[in-house]
Structure 1
């Protein structure tokens, strides 16, 4: 039985359709990310789960109970926003105790629970500080502690890391996952950041234009995109036009040359496809080596341990990108002619 069920949820604002019959099931203790570009409907869906917006049709069911008509305060959900929304005149501990005070818990119980969750998020020693005395990351931890203090049935996180700098964002991302696993709270996380979603989720829901483009485990979303939108949105990908040349032999014609792609097996000859290569699957070699394709290195980007090399394929303007160890890439200069290879199992093919 699903712990949280979104059943054919739809939402319209005038003539604009924001959500189109969205259905998702979450298991108890699961961490699920809603991933997509701005305007795809992910935050609207989260607000419907929280009760801040009402669906035009469909249901929100929590532990078998339809809560679609319940006010937010009746749903026992903890929510963390992009804006920290802390009370500036309250200490960290008082902010964390706020939800417990609203629920009329006695003072001793409030203080005990606040200390527990501040310890959980690593802020016990900052309990008596006011928000302006805390860093952005610490303020967001207080917001997370406040959401957890009420022992929510569901934890909702709406782009909670986007206002933080890169290093703090990664640290807090990992902390959120640790805390979620430690507490076992079922969590719905909204983000537009593919790396965030892939790194901490049990499952990822990719949304596009108000519908579900794909739902699956992170490895499946990245490695087996269901459609061209998911392939383009989740991670870097080289996209070349192709036509299946030999469905039994796994050969595809790409830029006038037959190349190997195992996933072509069983496809009808003549089928037009998107021929997709992830940078980490591309291998570059000397120009005189036998290769699937050949090209010229036109750009390089250094990322520390890895360097990205962009190669324009000979005979056209299409490009592929290779992610290589920086030590190996150092010997390949811009302007070099190279052979381009990959394992036949690497390319993903989507019908064009």
Structure 2
């Protein structure tokens, strides 16, 4: 079996606040294969973006990796020095952040910002880099690319700025593209255009994609594998169709139940998950979702479950002590 492109093992990220220690990412492990699209979903604060920032050496001050390994293309990123990470970041791993207005430099033209990546990583001269930058703008669907090369970020719409970010991320044809809430700030029409663009570019460049979002609908239509995170842990993981049609975690079930339904009666309130996500400084010793889980068993409050296989679907795993379908029958669908 081929080695995965990305292998994360037992990753823990620590945050210190005075005398208190919290774990926004608490012992996660997973693989991402070549040419695979993995969607990571979960509420805010679940550790989706945080572990990616650790991967790229971009953790905010006050946070640090306590243990674990992040192996990309056979190299542990956590053991690299700053210079080695800079050589990987942007060249082999591209990233598209949520808000392009704060990610793009407001005082440099977009042509200059795309060209910089090519000069830094591809060793092109500025003339060649600008020519390639123009091609990239055309590739991501920005019309009149020659003129727009001389424009500044504020002269672009939100969707166009996101396309510029995608052009920068793809400039060096990375093996892995990370999209961190890349469509959250866009309206649904532009969101669909950006998703279609990344899907076509993925096939063109043969890269893997790690798509971080809180929007389950985006993952359902784009990814092959989905990973559901909560309180810094992986609650469920597997093929998109299996996880969404046959959820085995009460948390996944709750997220899906929160979505609007086509048959929903007018005026009927949307389902809301009761309670609040746990404080990372005061995590319970058992299942982190137990306090909000209507199907929790006594064991859920006492022991933290490990991922285990679900049925006979290859790759479908859940971290739970209960069988969800059985618990729904026993409680009469308690929620």
Larger CA deviation: 228-237 vs 151-160? 228-237
TM-aligned CA deviation for residue 235 of structure 1: 4.8
Structure 1: unaligned runs, 5 residues or longer? 238-277, 283-296, 302-307, 311-347
Structure 2: unaligned runs, 5 residues or longer? 271-323, 329-335
TM-aligned CA deviation for residue 3 of structure 1: 0.8
Q: In structure 1, what is the Cα distance between the partners aligned to 2:257 and 2:217? A: 8
Mapped pair 1:56 → 2:69 = no
Contact 2:95 2:169 in 1 (8 A): yes
Secondary structure of 1:23's aligned partner: strand
Contact 2:39 2:211 in 1 (8 A): yes
Contact 1:81 1:159 in 2 (8 A): yes
Q: Which residue of the other structure, out of 173, 191, 196, is the alignment partner of 2:195? A: 173
Q: Which residue of the other structure, out of 50, 53, 69, is the alignment partner of 1:47? A: 53
Following superposition of structure 1 onto structure 2, how do residues 121-132 of structure 1 map, counting pairs within 5 Å? 121-126=140-145, 127-128=148-149, 129-132=151-154
Contact 2:38 2:225 in 1 (8 A): yes
Greater radius of gyration (CA): 1
Mapped pair 1:210 → 2:232 = yes
Larger CA deviation: 48-57 vs 204-213? 48-57
TM-aligned CA deviation for residue 100 of structure 1: 1.5
TM-score under structure 1 length normalisation: 0.66
What does residue 289 of structure 1 align with?
none
Q: Which residue of the other structure, out of 82, 104, 120, is the alignment partner of 1:102? A: 120
Contact 1:96 1:149 in 2 (8 A): yes
TM-score under structure 2 length normalisation: 0.69
Q: Which residue of the other structure, out of 30, 36, 42, is the alignment partner of 1:36? A: 42
Following superposition of structure 1 onto structure 2, how do residues 143-222 of structure 1 map, counting pairs within 5 Å? 143-222=165-244
Moved over 4 A (4+): none
Larger CA deviation: 31-40 vs 177-186? 177-186
Q: In structure 2, what is the Cα distance between the partners aligned to 1:309 and 1:130? A: 44
What does residue 83 of structure 1 align with?
99
Q: In structure 1, what is the Cα distance between the partners aligned to 2:326 and 2:197? A: 37
Contact 1:115 1:124 in 2 (8 A): no
> Which is richer in strand?
1
Q: In structure 2, what is the Cα distance between the partners aligned to 1:105 and 1:56? A: 38
Larger relative CO (CA 8 A, sep 6+): 1 or 2? 2
Pair 1:279–1:163, CA change in 2 (3 A): closer
Pair 1:60–1:91, CA change in 2 (3 A): same
Contact 1:12 1:18 in 2 (8 A): yes
> Which is richer in helix?
2
Pair 1:279–1:167, CA change in 2 (3 A): closer
TM-aligned CA deviation for residue 91 of structure 1: 2.8
